[in-house]
Amino acid sequence: MRFLCIGDVIGRTGRKALKHFLPQVIKDYQPDFIVLNGENGAGGFGLTKKVFDEFISLGVDVITSGNHIFDKKEVLSFIDNEKRLLRPANYPPQALGIGYNIYNKNGKNICVINLMGRVFMGIPLDCPFRKFDEIYEEVKDKADYIIVDFHGEATSEKTAFGFYVDGRADIVFGTHSHVATADEMLLPKGTVYITDVGMTGAKYSVIGMKVEEPIMKFITGMPTKYDVAKDGLLFQCLFVEKTAEETRFERIKLVQD
């Protein structure tokens, strides 16, 4: 099976980059299954049904998320009924939506688990390590592959999680920082891991936003409204191919000025 794991898509520019690059990536790499973090897809913060449908129309199989999933209140109207949209599984159980699911594609059962870190995230969450253990016991005999989107700020927490689930998850890809890390690797027990796959959005930006606004915030210390940047296109993802004989993976970065 071949997988594409796409990082945070940032607003209209991110969707433009996705439309521009993804068809060629699909043609070149022929993925069987595509996971995309879409929580920043609508205006840079949150997700709407229109944007969700746009992602699905491009061939995305599952959309994961993180701390911005509930920023657009519209998501409350469809997240409970849309199994292709995940919110972090370690949200309190009363939260709307689901945190993992098993999808059948090309005769294989693929479990996608969405988890969120607790370090520097500011949301009261259950332990993602223990939540993975709980989910794993439920799905290990049902799923042919297990993919985890770990949405977190601290690289140490993500790395620790990768080693914690090594040999149980097939792929662990980090999201949230919007900056790709160059540490993609095959862990000792067979899990493909990367701390962060990076974002899909504006090349000339501060994590997808217009550069003037975060600069002003750092200079003045005052609250600042962020707007999605528009200059340049950037697409980043992780490609993984797993067969009985070998595991192959590649970090992909495509840009256009």
Domains of the chain: 2-256 (3.60.21.10)
pTM of the model: 0.97
Burial class (CB in 10 A: 0-12, 13-18, 19+), 168: middle
Cα angle 95, 98, 101 (rounded to 5 degrees) comes to: 165
Positive/negative CA dihedral, 73, 18, 255, 187: positive
pLDDT score, position 136 = 98
Catalytic residue, candidates 68, 151, 176, 178: 68
Separation in Å, CA 65 to CA 59, 150, 162, 234? 17, 9, 18, 19
**Residue 250: half-sphere exposure toward Cβ, Cα within 13 Å:** 11
Cα angle 77, 83, 84 (rounded to 5 degrees) comes to: 100
pLDDT score, position 203 = 98
Q: Quick check: is 68 catalytic?
A: yes
pLDDT score, position 143 = 98
From first to last of its 257 residues, the chain has per-residue pLDDT tens of: 999 999 999 999 999 999 999 999 999 999 999 999 999 999 999 999 999 999 999 999 999 999 999 999 999 999 999 999 999 999 999 999 999 999 999 999 999 999 999 999 989 999 999 999 999 999 999 999 999 999 999 999 999 999 999 999 999 999 999 999 999 999 999 999 999 999 999 999 999 999 999 999 999 999 999 999 999 999 999 999 999 899 999 999 999 99
3-state secondary structure of 80: coil
d(CA 166, CA 215): 39
